[in-house]
Structure 1
C-alpha cells in the first residue's frame, strides 16, 4: 500500500480543528470531547489523537485559529482606513457589523476567556489577539486610546449579544467619538 489514503484526506487535521470550534460553540469547552470532535469532523476517533496528543492541545489549536481569523478580519477592516475619521468608521463597522461580533464568534470568545483563566499558556493566544488589534488601532490613535478602543470593541459586542436593547450604530458612533475626542489640553 502506498499510503495514498492519507494524501486523499490532506485536510483531515483542519477538519478536526474546525469540528473542535463547532463542538465548543455547541457544548462549551467542558462538554467538548474527542468523540464529539471525531463525529463532527467525520473521522475515526483515533485520528483526533493522532494529530493532537491531548484535548487541551486541540482546544488551544482551535482557539489560536479563532484568534488569528478574528485578528485578520479586524486588521483587514482597519487597513481600509486612511485617516482618523475613516478609522473611527472602521471601528463602528467592526462593532456594529459582523466583522467580530457574530453570535458564534462571541460565544467562542466567552469560552476562550474562561479557558484562558484556567490555562495560563492560553493567555498568550489572548495577548496576541489583543496585541494585533492594538497595532491596527495605533496607526490612528495613541496607545492608551487604542487600548480603550480594543476593550470597547469586545465589550459592546458582548453587551449587545445579551442586551434586549442593543446599542444602535448611531449610539456606537457617539461612544467611539467620545473615546477618541482630543483632550484639549486636559
Structure 2
C-alpha cells in the first residue's frame, strides 16, 4: 500500500445523484476516517476507522448506507458473511437490520467443528481462511462484508470459500476501497460495492 501522495477520495459509484440525507451520511462517514502516513511501515498511508467507531451517529450513518445499498440491490439476500476481523464490526449489525443471519469467516484455527478452508498469498507469505462446513447451505444467497478492500486477496479467498460451499455470492461490500491497488479486478466476476473510494 505504497502511496507517494495523498490520494483523492471520492464517493462510491452511483452516488452522483444522492439524496440530501444520503449525501449528509456520506459526508459524516468520510469525515470520521483519518489518515496516518507511514503506518505500519514507511510509504503506507493507513485509513483509520476508529473515529468512526467512536461516533455513534457516524457509525449509524455507515450502517444506513450499507443497508440502503443491500435493500435496493439485493433484497433476496439470506446471509451476511463477515471477514475476520473488522467485517465482524459491520456485518452482524447489518444482518440484524436486514433480518438475516450472520456467518463468521475466520483465520485458521479459530472455529470449532468441521471447517472448509482456503489459503491465499499475502505480501510476505501465506494465510488461510476458514468457515464452518454447515455455515451456508448450497444455493443460499450471501453478501460478503469487510471494512476495507486493498489488493483484494483476502476478499477473493472469502469468495472462493463461499463458492466451495456452493453459496450464491450476490456482492462483496466494504466501507473503504483503495482504488489505486485495483483489488476489485481480483474479485471478478464477483461484484464490489464500496461506500468510500480513494484513488
**TM norm. shorter chain > 0.5:** no
Calculate the TM-score normalised by the size of structure 1: 0.32
Calculate the TM-score normalised by the size of structure 2: 0.31
Name whichever structure is richer in strand by fraction: 2
